[in-house]
Amino acid sequence: MDLKARLDAVYAPSEDIVARSIEGEIIIVPLVAGIGDLEDELYTLNETGKAVWDRLDGKKKLKEVLAELSAEFDAPAGEIEKDLMGLVEELVRRKIVAEIV
């Protein structure tokens, strides 16, 4: 599995997790074994993470996600790209999102 995020790839939440929106928070609940390091682990996302998560819809390429984030957020393009790639790589490593082939 390629763990490196690619701008021309499309990503979506994995079928191995259940993502829930509760009280304004995104809660990621592992469904299968091996997602978290601990058995009872849940995940939530910070504000940057939420902005990215909402756009990982299985349709947009990552470069389109980057363009949307750059238009919405007042931050240097390089910084947004670094955050986006960092998060997507981490989510892929943890099997929370998967590349759509």
Task: By CB under 8 A, name the binding residues for another protein.
Answer: 3, 18-20, 22-25, 27, 29-33, 36-46, 48-49, 52, 83, 86-87, 90-91, 93-94, 96
CA-to-CA dists, residue 46 to 8, 14, 59, angstroms: 25, 19, 23
CB of 87 to another protein, least distance (A): 4
CB of 60 to another protein, least distance (A): 18
Do residues 62 and 7 touch, judged by C-beta distance below 8 A?
yes
Q: What's the N-to-C CA distance of the chain in angstroms?
A: 12
CB of 88 to another protein, least distance (A): 10
CB atoms near residue 28 (< 10 Å): 24
